[in-house]
Chains A and B, each alone.
Chain A
């Protein structure tokens, strides 16, 4: 991409400088994130030594907090497409201003996804067994291999396109359309595919009737397109609050519309699922019963799912009827409640009941251990840190570019 090594290094060093510069508040924020990451890493070393036995998982509930979060954040990553699509395809000016933020959030979310998968593995040092060529890649048979491909591909697309655009802007050049536009189009399809593939991971298992449901994929998409833009909205509000980067009020309005439509579709599909499970109660509805009402005295998920549904509905209503006409505080509350609702529903509410009752009819509860929670928090903090450190230089470059070309 470059011919001039000096220019290259100044691009990198400037980006690093912009990433880390900030007031005392920002420094405290960074230190806090690093501290959470540190505890996470410490817990992980323990897990690494003793094995996954220090988690709450068992042969019956064999995926827990890690995979739940993985699933949810795939959705957040895919949601960047809700900015990319209008920005590049529909040539929406407002969206174009903030599309980079969506892409940074996607990169952060993907890094979290890959970390969640890694911490969930029994033999993380054996990952090379999966690399085609030196290992054995069970493609196309295993959906997990598809997921690996699409996630890494999406990560590459979402880092390289913005990198190219920013690099051009940094050197005060206009990015050349044909050099990146094809990849933008590709990333739009790719976003859908990461989500569908992740859904197929579960949907394709007849062993687990709770997942083996054709609505799973579409519902994944709908909830992702509600939760993802909600995250992006939270980030935008923070940017508006703490930086001089202009965030047009129109953007909030547009995001709000996307969120409301997706959230309503999500709720409709949720209702359709609930109807199917409970109107004609079959043997296969036991998982749903466990989730919503408890089974054989085991009901650890019941309070979670009902609060998730409550938050879901609350968030949707708050977005749909916004009396403040875009007050950031109000939107923040709405975004947080919708995001949390979908987080619980897509995470815990989707993964755990798939395992309960077990194929042999056993019912057990799963409770994550403190170690597991600390590791999860560590991964989340890493994601937040990545997003922060990416967005800051990106905005600085864009701002400079805009000012010189104003």
Chain B
């Protein structure tokens, strides 16, 4: 998108700034090295770190879309991001760029006759995925429903009372990882896509924050970082994935990733693991012996807004 002339001007000055910082980075580096060897530096370390940070950010700014990166480039950016997190004071992050596993297509099934609305899943998700505490971002939402209804839009998504309530049932909603996802089609920069294992992900560094995908999603599956997301350092989950729960920045889109950092290691998503009632079933749709395949075959299942042709990988079922 062509920005206005004014913005272009700003961009140029910013680029120039960066260029000079890079040049001065080199200069500073040699000066600091010389001074350091003389053993005379006192505050040198701080400025060295600053320049290192600038250099890393500069390289990050010009990196490619994740999908176009070679394995080597993926490794490099992950290393840079780990280093940047450390410089920022976030501690030792372990960031993975693990790819999809062979012959895996993830699917999710939610038992509406079992869920009691405890919201343990919501809490586990917030912690696992480093969701912004300031704006109280949640990927999962639970709707309290009156019997006789099956459409969560008629339910109460803001209930704040003791559960379970008699004659009510509960429906969890989140990104459904549509096979024919309108959000992917909408994105002007291909910053969001569906991985071979069926997970719809966002490259946070590539997203320009236009929010067209959010408008296109029929399930309200996406969340935008309106401000700078914040988490108390001690609560940060440092086991991260590039496409998953790594720290987001302001102005980018994010969403449920089926806990890509866990599921690609063969674990359950945090929500499924946390559920005390066993209402959440997660598994490989390509594995004929998986629990999810059993449910799809033997239970009464349905999907939300089936008429839109999005082909979600998320089913509701009744015992």
- Which residues of B (121-158) have their CB < 8 Å from a CB of A? 135, 141, 143, 152-155, 157
**Which of B1, B4, B188, B223 has a CB less than 8 Å from the CB of A111?**
B4
Distance in Å from the Cβ of A114 to the closest Cβ of chain B? 5
Chain B residues in 8 Å Cβ range of A111? 4-5
Distance to closest chain A CB from B145 (angstroms): 11
User: CA–CA, A144 to B152, complex, Å?
Assistant: 30
Interface residues as binary, B195-219 with A (CB distance below 8 Å gives 1, 0 otherwise): 0000000000011111110111111
B228 located at the interface, meaning its Cβ lies under 8 Å from any Cβ of chain A in the complex: yes
Across the A-B interface, how many residue pairs have beta carbons closer than 8 Å? 171
Q: How far is the CA of A138 from the CA of B65 in the complex (A)?
A: 12
Q: Say yes or no for B167: interface residue by CB 8 A criterion.
A: no
Cα A355 to Cα B222 in complex, Å, equals: 14
Task: State the CA gap A85–B185 with chains docked (Å).
Answer: 35
Q: Is B299's beta carbon under 8 Å from chain A?
A: no
State whether B189 touches A129 (Cβ < 8 A).
yes
Q: Is A118 an interface residue (CB 8 A)?
A: yes
Contact of B218 among A41, A58, A206 (CB under 8 A): A206
Contact A51 B4 (CB under 8 A): no
B215 touches A114 (CB 8 A): no
Task: Find chain A residues with CB under 8 A from B224 CB.
Answer: 52, 59, 62, 122
Contact mask B54-92 → A, CB, 8 Å, 1/0? 000000010001001000000000000000000000000
Q: Which residue of A148, A201, A360, A362 has the most chain B CB atoms within 10 A of its CB atom?
A: A360
B residues at A contact (CB < 8 Å): 1-7, 11, 14, 61, 65, 68, 135, 141, 143, 152-155, 157, 173, 182, 185-191, 206-212, 214-220, 222-228, 250-253, 308
Q: What CA separation (Å) do A145 and B61 show in the bound complex? A: 22
Q: Point out the residues of chain A lying under 8 angstroms from B65, CB to CB.
A: 129, 135-136
Decide if B211 touches A122 in the complex (CB within 8 Å): yes
Q: What are the interface flags for A349-392 relative to B under an 8 Å C-beta threshold, 1 for contact and 0 otherwise?
A: 00000110111111000000000000000000010000000000
Given contacts A122-B208, A362-B157, contact A115 B6 (CB under 8 A): yes
Q: Is A123 in contact with B207, judged by CB distance below 8 angstroms? A: yes
Closest 5 pairs (CB-CB, A-B): A122-B209, A122-B251, A361-B153, A53-B227, A207-B218
Complex contact A359–B210 (CB within 8 A): no
Cβ–Cβ contact B3 & A52, under 8 A: no
User: In the complex, which residues 170-199 of chain A have their Cβ closer than 8 Å to any Cβ of chain B?
Assistant: none
Contacts A62-B211, A122-B224, A125-B14 supplied; 20 other A-B pairs, CB < 8 Å = A50-B228, A51-B226, A51-B228, A52-B227, A57-B226, A58-B226, A59-B214, A59-B220, A62-B214, A115-B4, A120-B211, A121-B208, A123-B207, A123-B209, A127-B208, A130-B189, A136-B65, A136-B189, A205-B186, A206-B308
CA distance A50 to B229 in the complex (A): 11
CB-defined contacts of A50 to chain B, threshold 8 Å: 227-228, 250
Please pick, from A58, A138, A151, the residue contacting B189 in the complex, using a CB distance under 8 A: A138
Chain A positions 91 through 121: 1 when the CB is less than 8 Å from some CB of chain B, otherwise 0:
0000000000000000000010011011011
Tell me the nearest residue of chain B to A53, going by C-beta. B227
B11: chain A residues at CB < 8 Å are 125
Residue A208 at the chain B interface, CB threshold 8 Å: yes
> Which chain B residue shows the least CB distance to A383?
B4
Residues of A within 8 A of B225 (CB): 51, 122
Establish whether residues B2 and A148, one from each chain, have CB atoms under 8 Å apart when the complex forms: yes
On chain A, which size bracket covers the interface?
35 or more
What DSSP secondary structure best describes chain B's contact surface?
loop
Of the A-B pairs whose beta carbons lie under 8 Å apart in the complex, a sample of 16, sorted by A's number, is A53-B250, A55-B226, A59-B214, A121-B209, A121-B251, A122-B252, A127-B2, A129-B189, A136-B206, A137-B188, A138-B187, A151-B2, A205-B215, A354-B215, A361-B154, A362-B157
- Taking CB atoms, residues of chain A closer than 8 Å to B217 are 207, 359
User: Is the Cβ of B212 less than 8 Å from the Cβ of A114?
Assistant: no
Nearest Cβ on chain A to B147's Cβ, whole angstroms = 18
Interface: A63 (CB within 8 A):
yes
Chain B residues whose C-beta falls within 8 Å of the C-beta of A57 in the assembled complex: 226
- A404 located at the interface, meaning its Cβ lies under 8 Å from any Cβ of chain B in the complex: no
Tell whether A51 pairs with B251 under 8 Å between CB atoms, given A114-B4, A122-B207.
yes
Known pairs A354-B215, A362-B157; A130 contacts B1 (CB<8 A): yes
**Closest Cβ–Cβ distance, residue B171 to chain A (whole Å):** 10
Q: Is the CB of B218 within 8 A of A118?
A: no
A51-B227, A123-B252 are known contacts. Are A360 and B216 too (CB-CB below 8 A)? no
Most buried by A among B4, B153, B218: B4
> Which residues of B lie under 8 Å from residue A205 when comparing CB positions?
182, 186, 215-216
Asked whether A143 is an interface residue with its Cβ less than 8 Å from the other chain, the reply is yes
A179 vs B17: C-alpha distance when bound (angstroms)? 42
**Assembled-state Cα–Cα distance A130/B187 (Å):** 10
Question: A121, A138, A207: which contacts B215 (Cβ < 8 A)?
Answer: A207
How far apart sit A256 and B263, CA to CA, in the bound complex (Å)? 65
A341 to chain B, nearest CB (A): 25
Q: Within 8 Å of chain B (Cβ to Cβ): is A141? A: yes
Do B219 and A359 have beta carbons less than 8 Å apart? yes
Q: Which residues of B contact A60 (CB under 8 A)?
A: 220
Residues from chain A with a CB closer than 8 A to the CB of B154 are: 361
For A126, list chain B residues within 8 Å (CB).
206-209
Contact B218 A359 (CB under 8 A): yes
Q: Which residues of A contact B186 (CB under 8 A)?
A: 142-144, 205
The answer to whether residues A360 and B189 also contact, given A123-B251, A152-B2 and a CB cut-off of 8 A, is no
C-alpha spacing A235/B242, complex, angstroms: 53
In the complex, which residue of chain B has the Cβ closest to the Cβ of A139? B188
User: Chain B's nearest CB lies how many Å from the CB of A163?
Assistant: 16
Give bound CA distance, A405 to B208, whole Å: 52
